Amino acid sequence: MASLPPTLDFAKTEEEICSKWSTESTFKTQDALGVERGDKEYTFYDGPPFATGLPHYGHILAGTIKDVVTRYAVMTGRRVIRRAGWDCHGLPVEYEIDQKLGITHRDQVLEMGVDKYNETCRGIVTRYTKEWERTVTRLGRWVDFENDYKTMDPTFMESVWWVFKELFNKDLVYQGYKVMPFSTACGTPLSNFEAGLNYKDVSDPAVVVSFPVVGMEGVSFVAWTTTPWTLPSNIALCVHPTMEYIQILDKKADKRYILAKSRLGQLFPIMNNKKKWKPKMADELYAIEETFVGSDLAGKKYQPMFDYFVNDEDAGEYFRILSDTYVTDDAGTGIVHQAPAFGEDDYRVCLAHGVIQKGKDLPCPVDSNGMFTEMVPEVKGLHVKKADDTLIALIKDKGRMVHKDQLQHSYPFCWRSDTPLIYKAVPSWFVKVEEIRDKIVENNKKTYWVPNQVKEGRFHSWLTDARDWAVSRNRFWGTPIPIWCSESMDEVVCIGSVDELAELSGVRVTDLHKDVVDEITIPSKKNPGTVLRRVDEVFDCWFESGSMPYAQKHYPFENKESFEDGFPADFIAEGLDQTRGWFYTLMVLSTALFDKPAFKNLIVNGLVLAGDGKKMSKRLKNYPDPNLVIDKYGADALRMYLINSPVVRAESLKFQEPGVLGVVKEVFLPLYNAFRFFSQNLERLEANTGTKFVPSKDKVSAATNPTDVWISAATQGLIKFVHEEMTAYRLYTVMPALVSFVTQLTNWYVRLNRDRLKGLEGGESESEAGLQVMYDVLLDVTILMAPFTPFITEYFYQHLRKLQPSYADAANGGGSSNPVMPGKSDSVHFLTLPAYDDGRLNADAVEAMEALQVIVESGRYVREKRNISLRTPVKCVTVILRNPSANVIESLNGPLKGYILSELNAWDLVIVPKEEEHEWVTLSLTPNFNLLGRKLGKKMKDFKTHVTSMSHADAVACLENGGLDFEGLTISAEDELVSKLAFSKEGEHWESTSTPEGDVVVAVDCTQDEAILSAGRSRELINAIQQLRKAAGLDLSDAVEVFFEESAGINVVESAVSNNTNLFEAKFQGAIPVPKKFAPSWSVVLRSDSADIGGSKVEVSICRPAVAGRCGLSDEVGYFLSTLEPSNLDGSALSITVDGKDISLSQGEDFWVNTVAKLRATKAISWLE
């Protein structure tokens, strides 16, 4: 295995891997291997996106979640068909075409020709599919684009017809006249769940207007509305039958009004101000003259606001008071104005009271574009939302305006055109959702959601209140509703297939779009000689996406067995907004068809917002281009940033580009450096031993080093955890665990074992033992992370696999099986994820290491408090642990002690025995107020005094007894008391800290004497040398000589070196620093710099190893020695001819392998003897 380069361009490397995958058809091979192995299918449904725009972070997030889960499924022995799909029909496409062609009215489409219009739509639906494919592929998501499905494919559309006919045959379809959310920009009704997709806070006029009572001179009903534009269509008023109403005299206006008694504040706003309103002020504002209940008012007539509909055929029933319990006193006046063409309750109440008749036209002066018609000439051609001011002025002129205000409220907008919706009565085709609502709720209970609160909360609430679904749209580009009927609707035929249409009409078609099938008629069976024609509407595109499980397979016309075997789907995933979208339509249709949920498992992601917390906007450009982010940091970094955030548990994420950079810096760079460190030392080990490294599971299992045992156990624990959590679809717990493990590996294992792995501690046998463990861990982690970060793991794996004995055979086409990596192993994504080894789950080793880390981190914190550099040793670290296990004590006092001393640069470590802890710490108890507040009530104060005044011994006894009794109440030590250790040893030389939980105290003896300071200077010199080596670009195996030069009369460094020669000799392969004056004149300086050591400026140089000669040698001999390579000297004498004279040079008398050897032999420096 060759050493890795010093740096890695992650993004460029990913592009190279992408190219490799493409060239080698890696994705197809992975799928083929699943077929070859006979893996059981894992069914996954991918909700079809619109390809009329480019993918954004919401798509990338959902796509990454889908990719992670399906990759995991494949790597745990399942076969997953991952087929791309495209939503091609509906408002998104038509709206874009209308904008492009300047179409504002339905008649313009008819003039253009539906065939031409639809062809124009067809031309843009796949406009961005190549860009989608490029982005999705670059993200590392494996999806089959070659065998994609489109909702405009005839096979897909035919299955949609089948779905609808099944519902029709089950009597779950009807045509109704219903008030629906209506998009005036798109000229079509929307379903209730579509109306819920895009709410915005807006300011609308809120007016109170009067309706004079017929037969009660000078008295008016008053009604409140936030839609003044509906007042021209008013034909009734509604009160609550049992609510109390009053007739008042408005003293300032000198007018009499009738309204709900509880709603006086609507007329007199000061009554709503609790600080300013005083009951005695009422006499100045109004006088109550009469009291009624709502039923007393029912039937009374009033004078209409406008006379636009006074001559209607049914006008005799108009302009009277109705009663219904939907009226509330939450807002308004308790009297609601009724415009049945624009309100769902209005329509229902007016129909129930005979004000309007079913099947008859409604008073509706607004067209499908939201414009007023000639019925209201004053605002003809104005959009309803722009007509408010004109109508308010007309009302004022009539003297009917009582009060005008502005109301801030949440209002539904069209999810596609982003324009305000209105509610409008339109004829539609409906699915009877309410009839099967209980079944839908029950089927939802059979599904598993992450997070569960979305299922139990938001989605459940939506289902329990679900209403009949309007599935028709008055548009052109969509799957036509397959109903042919007579003009009188007395004969209705629903078509469920192309064959059925051909059989009944005699016409066989290959395209099912409106412009084709609208030309087809079906001979009437009831009335021979007449024909049935298709209804005008097309399907809501949500009906198509809800039919996707069946239509993508052309069920039931093809793939019947494979569909039924894989239904319901094992997994789906989309954003939180789909609780009222795709998740809902899937559930409705699957329940209606099969009384089953459409899926078993679901991950809901939250919204990705701009960095300022606002919605991402192309217009505002408030977010970075996803492709640029990928090009800069790599797809793996973006994937990990997204799935290691709250957004995978349905919370919002404010996208921050520095967060993606943070993944590179905090995860990938440390991991890459660990891999590189491994490869460097592997290369060194093989060079030094002359033996090829062969991975061995037996050697890993036989490891005895405590950190080897720990990292192996931690790896097995990680594997077990990942499998448990991925089986439960909890990505939000998996990613933090993987990131944490990378930190454990790179920041703890590698750091603790750096010298050992280099062969500097314990020799090459210990190095090889550690590298065996490190290889095993790196391989497991690489495979385990593959579903999450497919690129970097492929890169690492391609290097790691070269160490396998079977690699050469595989490279030569032998295809031999791999003992460590079962199955075909050309890619990490062909492998099976490792299963955890229960025998290596060493809980004791993990617990001991956790204690070590707490001690080390606490000790470093204490050093920072006292401003003691880590290079300066401390005399002693004392640790007090609350209830440690015997294993932890044994490990900390035994095999882990050296690691702690090294990490804290301490000379001694003391783990205080339990029987002596009272000499070092005090145990204190405090109440857990959250749990005890209700239990103790007023006794809490006395109880707090009682427990906080306990002695150390009493507190210990309380915990050991499991709690205490207080005034007849049992207080549990486990959860109702909070315990904490505090350092109590006296002496200024002590500095301490305790963990937040209060169960560990670490104290450091901060005494500083000359021996301590000298050792610290040695560490500072070592650091300076290492920096020079790094600047010179030296590898670990590159030997150097070190020289230093201090100012005259100062020997701070020389003193430090003289006291710590063993430290330098072990650290730098015998290269003990010596004064520069002893350096051979021919030494080649590789790097030199000044360093501040112990307050003294010191010049430090690293030189290429050079042979050293005795004093007095001639220049010719000196030149000869400078040409020698020290590593080639074997102790033999050397000969040289100078001026014709042969000279013999003896190693050990005339020359030495290096300067340190010379100084030792000649005793030139006493501390080197």
Asked whether the bond before 427 is cis by omega within 30 degrees of 0, the reply is no
Residue 481 CA to residue 495 CA, distance in Å, equals: 9
Which residue among 40, 618, 621, 692 is the active-site one?
Answer: 618
Contacts of 1074 (CB under 8 A, 6+ apart): 1042, 1043, 1044, 1057, 1155, 1156, 1159, 1165, 1168
Q: Distance of CA 1041 to CAs 32, 399, 635, Å?
A: 58, 103, 45
**Enclosing H/E stretch for 662:** helix 657-663
Q: Tell me which of 615, 665, 697, 865 is the catalytic residue.
A: 615
d(CA 1166, CA 1140): 39
Measured between alpha carbons, how far is 424 from 660 in angstroms, rounded to an integer?
47
Residue 524, CA atoms < 13 Å, CB-side half-sphere: 17
> Which one is catalytic: 46, 67, 87, 570?
87
**Token duo for residue 502:** 């051909």
357 is catalytic: no
Tokens linked to 652: 């919002």
Rg of the chain taking only CA atoms, in angstroms: 41
Distance (Å, whole) CA 340 – CA 1096: 92
Distance CA 465, CA 1004 (A): 65
Return the residue matching tokens 């670059």. Answer: 138
Report helix, strand or coil for 37: helix
**Angle subtended at Cα 177 by Cα 172 and Cα 182, rounded to the nearest 5 degrees:** 105
Please say if 582 is a catalytic residue: yes
Closest CA to 597 of 440, 384, 764: 440
Q: Is 48 a catalytic residue?
A: yes
CA 141 to chain centre: 16
Pair 238, 338: CB distance under 8 Å: yes
**Annotated catalytic, 542?**
yes
Annotation says 618 is catalytic: yes
Residues 6+ apart with CB under 8 A from 894: none
How do strand 422-431 and strand 173-183 relate by DSSP bridges? antiparallel
Q: Has 615 been annotated as catalytic?
A: yes
Strand-pair category, 219-225 with 255-260: parallel
Q: What's the CA gap between 604 and 504, in Å, rounded?
A: 45
Alpha carbon distance 714, 746 (integer Å): 13
Identify the active-site residue in 30, 48, 324, 553: 48
Cα–Cα distances (Å) from 766 to 754, 761, 763, 770, in that order, read 12, 7, 6, 6
Q: Which residue has the tokens 């039919």?
A: 547
State the catalytic residue, choosing from 224, 415, 469, 542: 542
What residue type is 183 in one-letter code? Answer: S
Inter-residue long-range contacts of 92-96, CB under 8 Å, 24+ positions, other chains counted: 92/50, 92/52, 92/416, 92/541, 93/50, 93/52, 93/121, 93/124, 93/125, 93/477, 94/121, 94/186, 94/475, 94/476, 94/477, 95/185, 95/186, 95/416, 95/417, 96/52, 96/124
Prior bond of 996 cis (ω within 30°): no
What whole-number distance in Å separates Cα of residue 510 and Cα of residue 521?
A: 16
In sequence order, what are the residues at sequence separation of 6 or more whose Cβ sits closer than 8 angstroms to the Cβ of residue 80? Answer: 34, 41, 42, 43, 44, 70, 73, 74
Catalytic residue, chosen from 552, 578, 716, 804, is 578
Query: Is 484 a catalytic site residue?
Result: no
Among residues 105, 150, 100, which one has the least CA distance to residue 512? 150
> Among residues 86, 224, 449, 582, which one is catalytic?
582
Q: 597 CB contacts (<8 Å, ≥6 apart)?
A: 443, 444, 446, 447, 568, 586, 587, 590, 591
Token pair, residue 908, equals 């001694």
**CA–CA separation, 1059 and 1063 (whole Å):** 9
Cis-peptide into 55, omega within 30 deg = no
Q: Which residues are catalytic?
A: 48, 87, 542, 578, 582, 615, 618
